[in-house]
Amino acid sequence: MTDKLEQKSANRCHGGWVKRFSHYSNTLDCEMVFGIFLPPQVEQGPVPVLWWLSGLTCNDENFMQKAGAQKMAAELGIAIVCPDTSPRGTDLPGEHDSFDFGSGAGFYLNARRAPWSQHYKMYDYVTEELPALVREHFPVSEREAISGHSMGGHGALVCALRQPGRYASVSAFAPVTNPVDCPWGEKAFSNYLGDDRSEWAEWDACELILAGKSKQGLLVDQGEADNFLDEQLKPGHLEKACHLQGVPLELRRQPGYDHSYFFIATFIDDHLKYHAEHLFAS
């Protein structure tokens, strides 16, 4: 059953609420937890939603606890939903052995390879099952935007590129831009999808842009002191793909900022305002 939600916590925050819920996910075939920020405006009627996809090692709580997004989201009247980053409570061979694969590292794709394909369908979970559940239980409108960090930045870009027109806006912090061409992505994709690299492109932001899937504008912040910049994140690849396809990209390279939530906390208000402009545009 997908329609049963169990509330795990509720905290008043900037006039609204931060709440956590567990539910059984049919898509992932396991029990999952998500977090939601409901701004004070829900008392007047439905509000738009920002989906936040977190990075490696995270769960639904990192963003809610560290990004400091609630104050601006309360001012703007935007709900924020934070899914977890992988299926939980399962115990597949090697699933918990490394930080960049398996639990905490679902990469927001639908796995095709056994044994991962039974549970690791995070794309369907964050784009279908969870949105339906959230709309059923909370006063949110059909308007939605998406953002994320690192592996979750990859997820946000890929969700928006695969469904042009669905999200009013998309942004990312330090995204893995070209997973088919970096160690994190190659490890995850070979295990989740198999060795045929031609099947990887549909989960790669640069490849989707190069295939002309969408011309929607992108806002990306990237710290220049990020340890993962050159080996894993490769913003230059995104810049090149967007340039070739005429996709408007605002890539802001932030001097001195690293990969942490201190970086996200610094620039999250800009992203929230960017999303509000699009979510509330008539």
Active site residues: 150, 226, 259
Residue 81 CA to residue 256 CA, distance in Å, equals: 29
How far from 212 is each of 36, 209, 245, 281, CA to CA, in Å? 33, 5, 7, 25
User: Which residue is at the shortest CB distance from ligand GSH?
Assistant: 55
Query: Which of positions 157-186 make contact with ligand GSH (CB under 6 A)?
Result: none
Residue 246 or 256 having the CB closest to ligand GSH: 256
Under 8 Å between Cβ of 147 and 159: no
Under 8 Å between Cβ of 39 and 47: yes
Does 234 participate in binding ligand GSH (rule CB under 6 A)? no
Residue 145 or 233 having the CB closest to ligand GSH: 233
Query: Which of positions 247-276 make contact with ligand GSH (CB under 6 A)?
Result: 259-261
DSSP 21-89: EEEEETTTTEEEEEEEEE-GGGGTS-EEEEEEE--TT--THHHHHHS--HHHHHHHT-EEEE--SS--S
User: CB-based contacts of 264: which residues, under 8 Å, 6+ apart?
Assistant: 63, 66, 67, 149, 173
- Shortest gap between Cβ of 261 and ligand GSH (angstroms)? 5
Q: Interior CA angle at 110 toward 109 and 116, to 5°? A: 110
Residue in 33, 50, 56, 69 binding ligand GSH, rule: CB under 6 A: 56
Q: How many residues bind ligand GSH, per CB under 6 A?
A: 13
Sign of CA dihedral 190, 191, 195, 197: negative
Residue in 86, 150, 191, 214 binding ligand GSH, rule: CB under 6 A: 150
Q: Interior CA angle at 254 toward 241 and 171, to 5°? A: 50
Q: Which two tokens stand for residue 64?
A: 């809610």
Does 232 participate in binding ligand GSH (rule CB under 6 A)? no
- Strands 16-25, 6-13: pairing is antiparallel
- Shortest gap between Cβ of 99 and ligand GSH (angstroms)? 5
Residue 152 CA to residue 243 CA, distance in Å, equals: 23
Query: Which of positions 117-146 make contact with ligand GSH (CB under 6 A)?
Result: none
Does 55 participate in binding ligand GSH (rule CB under 6 A)? yes
- Shortest gap between Cβ of 59 and ligand GSH (angstroms)? 9
- Shortest gap between Cβ of 231 and ligand GSH (angstroms)? 11
Site string for ligand GSH, 83-122 (x = CB under 6 A): ----------------x-----------------------
- Shortest gap between Cβ of 84 and ligand GSH (angstroms)? 13
- Shortest gap between Cβ of 178 and ligand GSH (angstroms)? 15
Quote the radius of gyration of the chain (alpha carbons, Å).
17
Residue 86 or 214 having the CB closest to ligand GSH: 86
- The binding site for ligand GSH (CB under 6 A) comprises 55-58, 62, 66, 99, 149-151, 259-261
